[in-house]
Chain A
Amino acid sequence: MAQAFFGGVHPNDMKAATNEKAIEQLAPPAEVVIPMSMHFGAPCTPLVKVGDHVKVGQKIGEFHGLGAPIHASVSGKVKAVEPRPYSMGGDMMSVVVENDFQDELSEEVQAPADPNALTVNEMVEAVKNAGIVGMGGATFPTHVKISGGIGKVDTVIINGAECEPYITGDHRTMLERPEEIIGGATYLAKMFGVDKVVIGVEDNKQNGIDAMNKVIAQQKAPVVVEALHCRYPQGGEKQLCQAVTGKQVPPGGLPSNIGCAVFNINTTCAIFRAITQGMPVVRKVVTVSGSGVAEPKNIECPIGTPVSCLLDACGGLNEKTFKLVMGGPMMGMAQYTADVPVGKGTGAMLAFCENEEQTVENPQCIRCGKCVAACPMHLEPLFMYQYAAKDMLDELNAANIMDCMECGACAYACPARMHLTHMFKYGKQKLKDKMAADKAAAEAKKAAEEKKEAVNK
């Protein structure tokens, strides 16, 4: 068993509702809304206009700088190109496609003659063209991670921890599509030039571990599965690296600083499909669960499917539902409308109608220190809260608030129900704004001085 990380919490995993339910295919939705930002980086530019006919896999959004292209997930007519609500809050330029239910595959999707003959550069190119991003939710463009890591990375880790409660999409993928995971992992080993890839899985998914081990033995793949302690946030990138290698990513650093690269299970499957079939990311496995959902399920649906279609496929919602969460209950984003579409990083759609929130009026910190014990980044949330609440930005910075990854472990553990994570999101933004302002001021001053000198000469 891999060594554990410091801190963390152990929430009730609530996975029993869906972990024995096979992934279902959603009946094709009448229309899909594909937002032009489903990745870390600037939004894509739409390549189609109203009235155009698009086919499955056709590129409809081009990226600039850091990003990944976006493809049509159904075939049909472009009905609108306009801002629509999306999962990160507010509106985003989106391409709305009216489904013609023909499911025509685009000519752009070309499987290579022999995937195993591809060079490293060709494989990275295939990943880039397929628009693959980190599908665990961080949505960092995968081709950038691979090309940036080649030569620096000696440990490639596949993140199968799935430590957030409720979510079972990765678990079902391990059981139903282990060949795709192992195949994708094998290509990753080739790209990075490493002898083995480690798949880290929390030990509450033993049957998933067995299924993958079987495929590894059959294929003699350069992959090992490592069972991890069941503890949130085991699937945090830095915590996973620590559990697998025993090394800690330095502050402000990336896993590549300690020779690691981490890929999600779904991302690995997408890499497999991109290299073997040339297939871009057009579908996503989503766990629909929570107390408000009549019949929780794991569903695979086209990217851009409105969340309401998913919920309808699960028997609709309890009318007392007060919260819709896209993502896990610990880090997911609460949505204000069911019109938002499924994106590349959407792993779950939860609806709550009971007392999950447990909010109290006027919460008071009792200084119990349970947040300090729970923080996997070794921070002291109770002091950070006080600084943030009073806008004491220098103290906030000195308390290393920028190390906070907003995992929510402190707020989960807090018996006083303080809104810790909420306050840290606010504090981090304030601090970023101040740093940007300071930098701009310093540059303006420097420019003014240079100008003055030039005049004096």
Chain B
Amino acid sequence: MTDYKNLKLIATSSPHIRGAETTRSIMLDVIIAMVPALVWAVIIFGVKALTLTVVSALGCMFWEWLYRTLMKKPQSIDDLSAVVTGMLLSFVCPATTPYWMILIGDFFAIIVVKQLFGGIGKNFVNPALAGRAFLLGSYASVMTTWIDPAVNKAPLFGSTADIVTTATPLLYMKGGDMETLTGTYSVMDMFLGKTGGSLGEISAVLLIVGGAYLIFRKVINWQTPVSYIATVAVLSFLFPKAGTGLEWMLYSIFGGGLMLGAFFMATDYATSPVTKKGQLIFGIGCGLFTVLIRYFGAYNEGVCYSIMVMNLCVALIDKYTKPTRFGVVKSEKKEAAAK
């Protein structure tokens, strides 16, 4: 029979079993959810879309590895969160962005925003969006040059001086130029993604497919993306700058980075509230700021900054959306508050 004296037993706290989900499996699911949009980007913008994304992902992994090696901290690149950040950063940049520039963006996202604040889970704004905001501030013209995918593909290497560029739908919308907009892009073009724009943001339908996969896999809750998109939809339907409310609404929700932001950026765990109620409020706030920036701001697009602004409100939202304590009936709670 077994010699029980020779067993090497460990006596740790319960629970002694764990669920199947890990940080790595979650990040892998996010990467899988981004693949359809990436494939579409390669079809539209050319192979540069793929190489830029791969360089950005590798860049993020490199910076994370370097920081944690220099700081003598345990390595964390195998949780794949750096890959997600790298892919997302390339998704919000034009396909024509030079490789060296995306590596600078990776540096800002990983080192400054993520690692200096303590690594995964500790950053206070979304690293990919912060990286984009940094590049936009530093290299404004490159970051707002949109190649016309109908005429030419992004060159793999070398100068982008002689590419044919185009205007994004949001530029026409900023000016309220509905005639040119509908003449250039149909609603179907917007939905499928046959427009100019950032690498991974153009195809609304494929981003919705990716987001639905994440919701199905319970990686994200529906609260944030649905409340975000619904807020933008309602506000743009009620207050169209041009055209009918319905038409304006469709262009508003399919245009720009809204779908990418709603499903992949606003749902970032570290920078969104932890309760479902909080996530609803967070999504509504993102939607509100997006519409305000698009209508009244200096930029054509408001998704990036609206999410970053709401990121800063997360601690406040968490504070006021705590779950009701078990056993406290609502009326009692009111009485307690009145006292």
Interface residues, chain A, CB within 8 Å of chain B? 6, 9, 11, 89, 165, 238, 248-251, 253, 308, 311-312, 316-317, 319, 321-325, 327, 329-339, 350, 352, 356-358, 360-362, 364-370, 372-373, 375-380, 382-383, 400, 403, 406, 408, 411-417, 419, 421-422, 425
Query: Do A367 and B19 touch across chains, with their CB atoms under 8 A apart?
Result: no
Asked whether any CB of chain A lies closer than 8 Å to the CB of B21, the reply is yes
Give which listed residue, A319, A332, A411, contacts B2 with CB less than 8 A: A319
Contacting residues, chain A, for B324 (C-beta < 8 A): 378
Contact B14 A408 (CB under 8 A): yes
Give the distance to chain B from A415, nearest Cβ to Cβ, in Å: 4
- Give the residues in chain A near B21, CB-CB below 8 Å: 370, 413, 415
Residues of A contacting B318 in the complex (Cβ-Cβ under 8 angstroms): 383
Known interface pairs A319-B2, A367-B274, A415-B21; A334-B14 also in contact (CB < 8 Å): yes
Identify the interface centre among B269, B270, B325, B327: most chain A CB within 10 Å of its CB.
B327
Beta-carbon nearest neighbor of B6 in chain A: A319
Contact A322 B9, beta carbon cutoff 8 Å: yes
Question: A308-B4, A311-B4, A358-B18 are known contacts. Are A425 and B13 too (CB-CB below 8 A)?
Answer: yes
Per-residue contact bits, chain B 1-29, to A (CB 8 Å; 1 contact, 0 not): 11010111111111111110111011000
What residues of B have a CB within 8 angstroms of the CB of A366 in the complex?
23, 26, 81, 120-121, 269-270
Selected contact of A361 from candidates B2, B15, B74, CB within 8 Å? B74
Number of interface residues of B (CB under 8 A): 44
Given contacts A336-B9, A372-B275, contact A378 B17 (CB under 8 A): no
Q: How far is the CA of A352 from the CA of B74 in the complex (A)?
A: 28
Q: Does B323 contact A (CB under 8 A)?
A: yes
Supply 18 further A-B pairs (C-beta < 8 A) apart from A251-B328, A378-B323, A412-B15: A248-B328, A311-B4, A319-B7, A322-B7, A323-B9, A329-B16, A334-B9, A334-B11, A336-B9, A337-B9, A357-B16, A358-B18, A366-B121, A368-B26, A412-B19, A413-B19, A416-B22, A417-B18
Query: Taking A367-B270, A378-B323, A380-B274 as contacts, is the C-beta distance between A412 and B7 under 8 angstroms?
Result: no
CA distance in complex: A367, B1 (Å): 47
Known interface pairs A248-B326, A357-B18, A379-B323; A338-B76 also in contact (CB < 8 Å):
no
Q: List 6 A-B contacts (CB under 8 A).
A: A248-B327, A251-B325, A311-B4, A378-B326, A380-B274, A415-B26
A338 and B19 form a contact (CB under 8 A): no
- Contact partners of A412 in chain B: CB under 8 A: 15, 17-19
Q: How far is the CB of B261 from chain A (nearest CB, A)?
A: 19
Chain A residues, CB < 8 A from B243: none
The chain B residues found within 8 Å of chain A, CB to CB, are 1-2, 4, 6-19, 21-23, 25-26, 74, 76, 79, 81, 119-121, 269-270, 273-276, 318, 322-329
* Cα of A360 to Cα of B273 in the assembled complex, Å: 25
- Please give, as numbers and ranges, the residues of chain A lying within 8 Å of B25 by CB-CB distance: 415
Question: Which of B6, B7, B23, B81 gathers the greatest number of chain A CB atoms within 10 Å?
Answer: B7
Q: Is the CB of A368 within 8 A of B269?
A: yes
Point out the residues of chain A lying under 8 angstroms from B273, CB to CB: 369
**Do residues A311 and B2 form an inter-chain contact, with CB atoms below 8 A?**
yes
Give the distance to chain B from A420, nearest Cβ to Cβ, in Å. 9
| A414–B269 alpha-carbon span in the complex (Å) | 13
For A422, give its contact among B12, B19, B23 (CB under 8 Å). B12
Assembly CA distance A334 to B120 (angstroms)? 31
Partner of B269, one of A89, A367, A425: A367
Nearest B residue (CB) for A410: B15
**A375 — which chain B residues lie within 8 A by C-beta?**
323
User: In the complex, what distance in Å separates the CA atom of A248 from the CA atom of B325?
Assistant: 10
CA distance A331 to B13 in the complex (A): 8
Cα separation A369 to B16 with both chains bound (whole Å): 21
A317 pairs with B2, CB closer than 8 A = yes
Residues of A contacting B119 in the complex (Cβ-Cβ under 8 angstroms)? 364
Decide: B17 and A253 in contact? CB cutoff 8 A: no
Q: Which residues of B contact A357 (CB under 8 A)?
A: 12, 16-18
Task: Tell whether, in the assembled complex, residue A369 and residue B323 are in contact, meaning their CB atoms are under 8 Å apart.
Answer: no
Q: Which residues of B contact A330 (CB under 8 A)?
A: 14-17
Bound CA span A449–B13, Å: 44
Could you tell me if A421 and B326 are in contact, using CB atoms closer than 8 angstroms? no
- A250 and B4 contacting across the interface, CB-CB below 8 Å: no
| Bound Cα distance A153, B254 (Å) | 59
Q: Are B8 and A380 in contact (CB under 8 A)?
A: no
Q: Are B274 and A372 in contact, CB atoms less than 8 angstroms apart?
A: yes
Q: Are A421 and B15 in contact (CB under 8 A)?
A: yes
Smallest CB gap from A318: residue in B: B2
With A412-B19, A422-B13 as known contacts, state yes or no: A400 contacts B276, CB within 8 Å. Answer: no
Q: Give every chain B residue within 8 A of A253 (Cβ-Cβ).
A: 327
CB within 8 Å for A250 and B269 given contacts A330-B15, A421-B15, A425-B13? no
Are B13 and A419 in contact (CB-based, < 8 A)?
yes
A312-B16 contact, Cβ under 8 Å, with A364-B76, A415-B25 = no
CA distance A419 to B13 in the complex (A): 8
Per the bound structure, the CA–CA distance linking A361 and B73 in Å amounts to: 12
**In the bound complex, what is the Cα–Cα distance between A337 and B19 (angstroms)?**
27
A237 → B minimal CB distance (Å): 12
CA distance A345 to B6 in the complex (A): 27
By a CB distance below 8 angstroms, the chain A residues around B326 are 6, 238, 248-249, 251, 376-378, 403
CB distance from B9 to the nearest CB of A (A): 5
Contact yes or no, B323 A380, CB < 8 A: yes
B276 interface neighbour in A316, A373, A377, Cβ under 8 Å: A373
Alpha-carbon distance between A329 and B17 when the two chains are bound, in angstroms = 6
How far does the Cβ of A398 sit from chain B's closest Cβ, in whole Å?
A: 10
In order of increasing CB-CB distance, the 6 nearest A-B pairs are: A408-B15, A369-B274, A422-B13, A316-B2, A338-B4, A378-B323
* CA–CA, A370 and B19, complex, Å: 11
Assembly CA distance A425 to B15 (angstroms): 12
Which interface residue of A248, A249, A357, A367 has the most chain B CB atoms within 10 A? A367
Q: What residues of chain A lie closer than 8 Å to B325, measured between beta carbons?
A: 251, 378, 400, 403
Residues of A within 8 A of B7 (CB): 317, 319, 321-322, 324, 338
Chain B nearest CB from A354 CB (Å) reads 10
The smallest C-beta distance from B31 to any residue of chain A, in angstroms, reads 15
* Complex contact A335–B11 (CB within 8 A): yes
* Residue of chain B at shortest CB distance from A419: B13
Q: How close is B265's CB to chain A, nearest CB, in angstroms?
A: 15
